[in-house]
Structure 1
Amino acid sequence: MAARRCGCQRVGRCLGSTVCGAACPTSSPASILAPMTPMAEQALTAGRRRFLATLAAVAAASGVGARAAPAATRLTRIGVQLYTVRDLLQRDFEGTLARLAAIGFREVEFLGYYGRSPQAVRAALDTAGLDAPSAQVPIEAARTDWPRVLEAAHLTGHKYLVVGWLPEQERGTLDGYRAAADLFNRAGEQARSAGIRFAYHNHDFEFARMEGRIPYDVLLERCDPRHVAFEMDLYWITKGGQDPLAYFARWPGRFPMVHAKDSAGPPAHRMVEVGAGIIPWRAIFARREQAGIQHCFVEHDQPADPLASVRASYAYLRHLEF
């Protein structure tokens, strides 16, 4: 009686009876060395063709192949800058955090602790199931109280401390921006030694040309990437007349955080919820790896209804495919 053909013969290579469990004619030295009959060769060739045809069909059905489009990606962790809900936090701190978590937010960025200690803030975050990877601080904190601020950041669980505003008297010249960059480098080096990253958040004034230069470019050039990151506010850079995608390409990896709020367009650039304006969100997040984006915080500076505003922005970003 002829031995049963094992499945591995169909691809022209036998792995032996220990794999297929059948009496395999090619598992012995004699059968390996013996010449194949014309009929057997035809059967093997036909089997190979059937296998390859099946493999091609499976690949086509599953989208596998050199020309297959990559699977769409969505944001999985979306945060909110708490400045948007500042009035609600003043009235009900713990309850507001809980409502943000119920919307679907997993991260928040602080701008002040609303009279609470770092330990109390951390406890409220834990109760709500939220993380706070970032907090914005005034520039004076980096000058006068930096060790205490770094300690508070550790207690609360922040990974980033962000200077969110450069005072007007310090940005009248490019030398003012250079001095700010030097301060950022010093503060960033101290922060890095403490296991925290320093970052700077832009508005639109950094993009107004001065002495033939864009001040934001001066900051990027002078700040040491080892010590200073940048939190790009996508609304303000748009209002400032610049393209965030161009900055991602020119300064890759420098923007681990972004603020997401939209612009209704020129000339007034009225602030609107994410997805209701002109900012190309799909293109921006398609470049997230180039930019270095790790955290996205939705925001609206003056919302008519803060919770409705952040809920709308969250819903848009949560379903955005890129």
Structure 2
Amino acid sequence: MKKLALLLFSLCLGFAASAQEVGIIMGTARDYMRTGDVESTLIRLKNLGITKLEGAGSRNMPREEYKALLDKYGFDVVCGGTSFEQLQSEEAIEKIIENLKFFEAEYAVCYWIPHNGDDFTFEDIKKGVEVFNKAGKQFAEAGISFLYHAHGYEFRVYPGPGTMYDYMLEHLDPRYCNIEMDVFWMRNPGQNPAELMRKYPGRFPITHLKDRMIGSVDNLNGRQDPQRNVVLGEGDVNIAEVMKAARETGVKYHFIEDESSRTGVQLPMHLAFLRGLDLDRQALDYSVERFHKALVDADSVTLSYLTAEELTYGHSSGAIENKSIFKEALLSGKSDFSRIDFSKPDIHIKGDVAWVRGNMDADLVGNNGSTSNVKLKILYVWVKEKESGYWKLLARQAVR
């Protein structure tokens, strides 16, 4: 019976995460590690449905012995940390690469850019960009992806557009460096983590999931009382919206991090909250909404992003277009929507395929500028890409 319950729990958690894997950064297991028994800790984590870990090594045993236990219980090390100082030495990076490959990890992560107290300057961010791009290239050549974990002090203004965080994202080469988004530390300086994901889609392959106690005071110093880490869904980060945005923008892994003294008690509660989210439906619903907005706005970038290369787009007249003809007709004005209302869509999801039915009430603009109303019944077929987790429109058919 216990095995059946564990299987059902794992299946439910897998459904909630789907293309996004949910694990923990190993510091979150510190309450379970107080006895020093690594094996019993791993068994406990496995019984919670956790198999993905951040942290390439154990302080309690040689790495060969630790790796053998990870393999025995089916754990995968996804990433491991490095320091800013190590990133400035090719020899140090080679040692990090060797260790990450030993653990079969995909990512290396730097968690801090050194600076003087609370005085984080534009020179500091420029230095960070330079170091990360150079080190990231060395990691990339070895088959390891490199990430920077921001802590919120990067959102200061500088003599340029936006904040230093914007400068950083614009100047980090995405081939060599992307971001591990800690959603707590993005909320702490007053930012909206979900909006950041949507502003820079594809730049955040990994998150740290943690929630911040309601009433916490924002600051730009990358600091907060660790006791303000609360159960996911109970704070002011809006974890449900974060998970929805993550599904839309290609996040691959989520690692729960809890820095409070209650981590042992809160970890099962974090997992229970995530298990209850219907993320696939939320992400698909949002993708349909964005698709219709892109039709009205003639937004070529979004239309490309939301449609599969094999798109077959059927009109109520019987005409069928492929992706290039569909986009050309819309962008040239041959097909010009000024308003679309798609009411009460009926969404069904089966694995990586979904179909959406609904009634469309739309206004079309003719060549002479006149507007005509059309009412259509629409069937959409969407597919979820395995590589990115994005929902993309594969087929559409309209009838009057």
Scaled by the length of structure 2, the TM-score of the pair is 0.58
- Given candidates 143, 148, 157, the residue that maps to 2:95 is 148
1:262 matches 2:211: yes
5+ residue gaps, structure 2, are 1-14, 219-227, 280-400
User: Residue in 1 aligned with 2:150?
Assistant: 202
* More deviation, 127-136/80-89: 80-89
- Given candidates 104, 107, 110, the residue that maps to 2:55 is 110
Inter-partner Cα distance in structure 1 for 2:83 and 2:33: 20
Cα distance change on mapping 1:137 and 1:121 into 2, 3 Å: farther
C-alpha displacement of 1:265? 2.3
- Given candidates 269, 286, 296, the residue that maps to 1:312 is 269
Alignment of 1:215-254 (within 5 A): 215-254=164-203
* More deviation, 142-151/274-283: 274-283
C-alpha displacement of 1:113? 2.7
The CA deviation string for residues 158-179 of structure 1, in whole angstroms up to 9 with x for no partner, is: 1001001122239731121111
- Given candidates 65, 71, 74, the residue that maps to 2:16 is 74
5+ residue gaps, structure 1, are 1-72
Paired residue type of 1:216: Y
Inter-partner Cα distance in structure 2 for 1:164 and 1:258: 13
Check the 8 A contact 1:111/1:137 in 2, yes or no. Answer: no
C-alpha displacement of 1:253? 0.4
Q: Per the alignment, in what secondary structure is the counterpart of residue 108 of structure 1?
A: strand
Aligned length: 249
Paired residue type of 1:311: P
User: Residue in 2 aligned with 1:173?
Assistant: 121
Check the 8 A contact 1:203/1:237 in 2, yes or no. Answer: yes
Check the 8 A contact 1:261/1:274 in 2, yes or no. Answer: yes
RMSD in angstroms over aligned alpha carbons? Answer: 2.1
Inter-partner Cα distance in structure 2 for 1:155 and 1:312: 33
Paired residue type of 2:50: F
The CA deviation string for residues 272-315 of structure 1, in whole angstroms up to 9 with x for no partner, is: 121121222222222224432000001111232x3222111111
- Given candidates 127, 152, 155, the residue that maps to 2:72 is 127
Check the 8 A contact 1:303/1:309 in 2, yes or no. Answer: no
Inter-partner Cα distance in structure 2 for 1:208 and 1:92: 43
Inter-partner Cα distance in structure 1 for 2:260 and 2:46: 21
Q: Per the alignment, in what secondary structure is the counterpart of residue 113 of structure 2?
A: coil
The CA deviation string for residues 113-155 of structure 1, in whole angstroms up to 9 with x for no partner, is: 3154443332121122211111122222212310011010000
User: Residue in 2 aligned with 1:296?
Assistant: 254
With a CA cutoff of 8 Å and minimum separation of 6, indicate the structure with the bigger relative contact order. 1
Q: Between the two proteins, what is the percent identity of the paired residues? A: 29
Inter-partner Cα distance in structure 1 for 2:37 and 2:140: 34
C-alpha displacement of 1:111? 6.8
Q: Per the alignment, in what secondary structure is the counterpart of residue 16 of structure 2?
A: coil
C-alpha displacement of 1:186? 1.0
Check the 8 A contact 1:208/1:240 in 2, yes or no. Answer: no
Larger radius of gyration: 1
Q: Per the alignment, in what secondary structure is the counterpart of residue 185 of structure 2?
A: helix
Higher strand share: 2
C-alpha displacement of 1:112? 5.2
Check the 8 A contact 2:152/2:185 in 1, yes or no. Answer: yes
1:192 matches 2:136: no
Inter-partner Cα distance in structure 2 for 1:154 and 1:130: 15
Cα distance change on mapping 1:198 and 1:116 into 2, 3 Å: farther
Q: Per the alignment, in what secondary structure is the counterpart of residue 286 of structure 1?
A: helix
Q: Per the alignment, in what secondary structure is the counterpart of residue 78 of structure 1?
A: strand
User: Residue in 1 aligned with 2:379?
Assistant: none
Inter-partner Cα distance in structure 2 for 1:307 and 1:210: 41
Paired residue type of 2:214: G
- Given candidates 134, 156, 161, the residue that maps to 2:108 is 161
Inter-partner Cα distance in structure 2 for 1:111 and 1:285: 25
User: Residue in 2 aligned with 1:85?
Assistant: 29
Check the 8 A contact 2:113/2:124 in 1, yes or no. Answer: no
C-alpha displacement of 1:231? 0.5
Cα distance change on mapping 1:122 and 1:111 into 2, 3 Å: closer
Higher helix share: 1
User: Residue in 2 aligned with 1:63?
Assistant: none
Scaled by the length of structure 1, the TM-score of the pair is 0.72
